[in-house]
Amino acid sequence: MAKVYQANEIKNVAMVGGSGSGKTTLMESMLFECGVIKRRGSIEAQSTVCDYFPVEKEYGYSVFSTVCNVEFEGKKLNIIDCAGSDDFCGGTVAALNMVGSAIVVLTANGGVEVGTQNNFRLVEKLKKPMAFVINKCDHESADFENTFAQLKENFGNKCTLIQFPVNAGAGFNAVIDVLKGKMLVWKPEGGAPEMKDIPAEYADRVEEMRQALQEQAAEADETLLEKFLSEGLSDEEIMQGLKSVYADGSMYPVICCSGLKDMGVRRLMDFLNGMAPMPSQFAYPTVDGTKVAADANAPTSLYVFKTSVEPHIGEVSYFRVMQGTVHNGDDLVNMERGTKERISQLYMVAGANRVLVDAVAAGDIAATVKLKDTRTGNTLNAKDCELQYAPIEYPQPRYRRAIKPQNEQDNEKLAALLTRMHEEDPTWIVEQSKELKQTIVSGQGEFHLRTLKWRLENNDKMAIEFGEPKIPYRETITKTARADYRHKKQSGGSGQFGEVHLIVEPYVEGEPVKEVYKFGNQEYRINVKDTQEISLEWGGKLVLVNSIVGGAIDTRFIPAILKGLMDRMEQGPLTGSYARDVRVIVYDGKMHPVDSNEISFRLAGRNAFAEAFRNANPKVLEPIYNVEVFAPSDIVGDVMSDINGRRGMVLGMETEKQFTRLKALVPLKELSTYSTTLSSLTGGRATFTMSFKDYELVPADVQEKLLKEYAATQTEEE
């Protein structure tokens, strides 16, 4: 029977880093060292344990985060290998929410890149302890000292060497380990190192580094500080203090290795065993602010943080046991859906490898299969347990495309597939837009959506087309106008009659209705009897003011008039877009004692409003987005020029070491290809975020073009 690990025997770690940093190869060496696999696979041979999905084999690098577990010296390491590309950051965000610490992998030949910066910010935002792993110390262009200097320049003096390579480069095979007080030397096949005394030429540097480590360890508490000042710290006391400052984020240890040659890999796992916090050391918050400790004896509670549809298996749900112990055959309740789920099989997983287990205890990460109604972000509890965990906050999408099947009969099938894929990666956002009459799929970048397309076409045999998404324009008015309309219809029997007189004006929050409105030589006095303020689901407001006097229109017809107004608010006269921010004052009208009814006043209100709207100098509004670009400072000029060419307005810049954070406002229309252009412009060295800000008037030349385009579509439809 497989061992059930307790919270004090587990370390949950996310392995993050930019594309090409070698995380997957490093993970292969870890799995090999711990006997999980018999031989190490390679990305070139498409044989790695982590990159086992067809799309990953096709592209040659990770698309999904992959859960791997190894046992090393009595401890269980759950390591989640996260995709390097920023397009697939959703898996990284989910992984970081589930773990106690992170290792940020970079290379000795590439140094600090945008991917390093992006992942550092994600880890820092979630306040996880982190260590830097400088990989590829065996690369012929490796420059360890320069890479470490870049780390300190970008992330400050918290970056602390605990080891350094003796001979970084093609001949790399030895490391000086300050904490061990030894030189670690590997044979060509890597694996377990030979421990040797530190050569004399490194003695001064090692002593200086050891002194720095003592100083950092002494900052952990007053007792250690007093001991350090009086007589110095023992090795055990140094480790005690370093664990503390590492856990609270005051130190970023820096480790070196070669994942490809399996050199330094065992020492990395040894470091995680000794330094990374255990699940028992912190509590996880619920939606109501309760802190849940990893107590194996408490009522069982799980959080599903990842769902995937895997080759030859089907749907696999990955979860962390927040408290209690889950067993095969347990019946749990889905807190979001109120449904029951039976845990039929429990697995410990290492990428594509899975081992059946009987139970999983608090703090551990595992998987199960074929849950009926459970999705990513759901909480599963034992009976009478009411805990529920807050959903993970994923980044906003940055790239949009309209999607449709080549065969229109496949619309429903495509919708089901897209829903399933959103469950696998919540940063794929799918919107069935009634307004635009398109299905819009949004993601983190062009490559992110290209991956979705590849999977639909190759895995699901669904031929699709991407197209330019329409822009959700809005229409509004810029001046006051008046109109009236009489609807009269007589065709035998009871007829239809309704007459509505109204005034429209731009709605501005807090601005009162005037007492008198003047059009030409005629004045219209307003006596407000009732006001209805409708917050529109597409943004903005419609305000209806009832100023009918003398019973010209019965109050019971006001709802019908409002329906007529809404008919036109849903299809503005300029481009057919939704209208917003309009105040309508109904001040007069006529009705017939027999022929007046709801449909009559709905049509009269609709047509009077349409005429007044057209006379009120209507304008088209476009969505404006906040855009924040993070780019190396040497290419910011090119980035600014490109934004200016997109009708954007740069708001400001902030310098962060060798990078610049540029903030701008850009129309959504101009952001359609921005992800691809920015990558091309900067050689993949920049990233950006975008979020909706507001609607603003389009320039006159853009409005004229939009009106012509809309008129042409109307002519075609006629």
Give the model confidence (pLDDT) of 664-680 as tens digits.
Answer: 999 999 998 899 899 88
Tell me the C-alpha distance between 305 and 282, whole Å: 18
Q: 9 — phi, psi (to 5°)?
A: -115, 10
When pLDDT is averaged across residues 501-513 and rounded to a whole number, the result is 95
Q: What is the pLDDT of residue 117?
A: 87
**CA 65, chain centre distance (Å):** 14
Average pLDDT score over residue span 403-419: 94
Q: What is the predicted pLDDT for the residue at 221?
A: 84
pLDDT in tens, 79-134: 999 998 888 999 999 999 999 999 999 999 999 988 898 899 899 999 999 999 99
Which residue is it, tokens 């809309």? 710
Q: Rounded distance, CA 703 to CA 575, Å?
A: 9
Q: Give how far Cα 86 sits from Cα of 105, 245, 315, 398, 675, Å.
A: 14, 29, 25, 11, 11
pLDDT over 90, % of the chain? 76
Contact (Cβ atoms closer than 8 angstroms) between residue 102 and residue 16: yes
Q: Is the pLDDT assigned to residue 698 strictly greater than 50?
A: yes
pLDDT, position 364: 97
Is residue 423's pLDDT more than 60?
A: yes
Distance in angstroms (rounded) separating the CA atoms of residues 197 and 185: 10
Q: What is the mean pLDDT of residues 504-533?
A: 94
CB within 8 Å of 568: residues ≥ 6 apart: 579, 606, 609, 610, 613
- Which run of H or of E encompasses 447? helix 446-458
Poorest-pLDDT segment among 141-150, 548-557, 655-664: 655-664
Integer CA distances (angstroms), 534 to 192, 309, 530, 562, 628, in order: 71, 43, 13, 10, 33
Q: Which residues contact 175 (CB under 8 A, 6 or more apart)?
A: 163, 164, 165, 166, 183, 184, 193, 256, 263, 264, 267
Report residue 348 as tokens. 């410990």
List, for residues 285-295, the tens digit of each pLDDT value. 899 988 999 99
Each residue of 7-48: pLDDT tens digit? 999 999 999 999 899 999 999 999 999 999 998 988 888 888
Token couple for 237: 């006391």
DSSP state string for 264-306? SHHHHHHHHHHHSPPGGGS-EEBTTS-EE---TTSPPEEEEEE
- For 300-322, b/e burial (b = at least 16 CB within 10 A) is bbbbbbbbbbbeeeebbbbbbbb
Distance (Å, whole) CA 442 – CA 671: 12
Q: What is the mean pLDDT of residues 511-536?
A: 94
Query: Quick check: 1 pLDDT over 60?
Result: no
Q: Are 91 and 82 in contact (CB under 8 A)?
A: yes
Residue 394 has pLDDT above 90, yes or no: yes
DSSP SS3 for 233: coil
Mean pLDDT of 470-476: 95
| Structural Rg of the chain based on CA atoms | 32
Residues 6 or more apart whose CB falls under 8 angstroms from that of 129 comprise: 100, 101, 102, 246, 247, 248, 249, 276, 277
| pLDDT above 90: residue 470 | yes
As to burial, measured by CB atoms within 10 angstroms (0-12 exposed, 13-18 middle, 19+ buried), residue 459 is middle
Summarised one tens digit per residue, pLDDT across range 246-263 is 999 999 999 999 999 999
Residue pLDDT, tens place only, 42-84: 888 888 888 888 888 888 878 889 999 999 999 999 999 999 8
Residues 55, 43: contact at Cβ < 8 Å? Answer: no
Mean pLDDT of 485-495: 83
Instruction: Quickly state the pLDDT bin for 492 (edges 50, 70, 90).
Output: low
- The Cα–Cα gap between 250 and 248 comes to 6
Residue 222 pLDDT: 85
Q: What is the pLDDT of residue 289?
A: 87
| Residue 51 φ/ψ, nearest 5 degrees | -95, 75
pLDDT for 670 equals 95
Asked if residue 469 lies in contact with residue 401, where contact means CB atoms within 8 angstroms, the answer is yes
Sign of CA dihedral 113, 117, 123, 129: positive
Cα–Cα distance list, 313 to 54, 329, 585 (Å): 14, 19, 63
Phi, psi of 685 (to 5 degrees): -90, 0
Contacts by 164-168 with C-beta closer than 8 Å and gap 24+?
164/256, 165/108, 165/137, 165/256, 166/202, 168/108, 168/137, 168/138, 168/142, 168/143, 168/144, 168/256
Q: Give the closest residue to 99 by CA, choosing from 121, 72, 128.
A: 128
> What pLDDT is stored for residue 668 in this prediction?
96
Tell me how far CA of residue 365 lies from CA of 9, 173, 326, 361, 411, in angstroms: 13, 34, 11, 9, 37
Report whether pLDDT(445) > 80.
Answer: yes
Tell me the pLDDT tens digit for each residue of 307-358.
998 877 889 999 999 999 999 999 999 999 999 999 999 999 998 888 999 9
Beta bridge partners of 523: 518
CA–CA distance, 192 with 29 (Å, rounded to integer): 12
Report pLDDT for 718: 46
pLDDT confidence of residue 695: 95
Q: Which domains does the chain have, with CATH numbers?
A: 7-198+251-281 (3.40.50.300), 284-381 (2.40.30.10), 399-467 (3.30.70.870), 475-612 (3.30.230.10), 620-702 (3.30.70.240)
pLDDT score, position 715: 63
- 69's CB contacts (< 8 A; 6+ apart) are 76, 77, 78, 79, 348, 349, 350, 365
Do the Cβ atoms of 292 and 321 come closer than 8 Å? no
Cβ partners under 8 Å of residue 135, min gap 6: 17, 21, 22, 23, 26, 105, 106, 107, 108, 256, 257, 258, 259
What whole-number distance in Å separates Cα of residue 478 and Cα of residue 583? 11
Contact 343, 334 (CB under 8 A): no
Average pLDDT estimate for 186-199: 95
Question: Residue 26's pLDDT is what?
Answer: 96
Q: Are 639 and 686 in contact (CB under 8 A)?
A: yes
Average model confidence (pLDDT) for the chain?
92
Q: How confident is the model at residue 224 (pLDDT cuts 50, 70, 90)?
A: confident
pLDDT tens for each residue of 193-223:
999 999 999 999 999 999 989 888 888 888 8
- Give residues with Cβ within 8 angstroms of 522, minimum separation 6: none
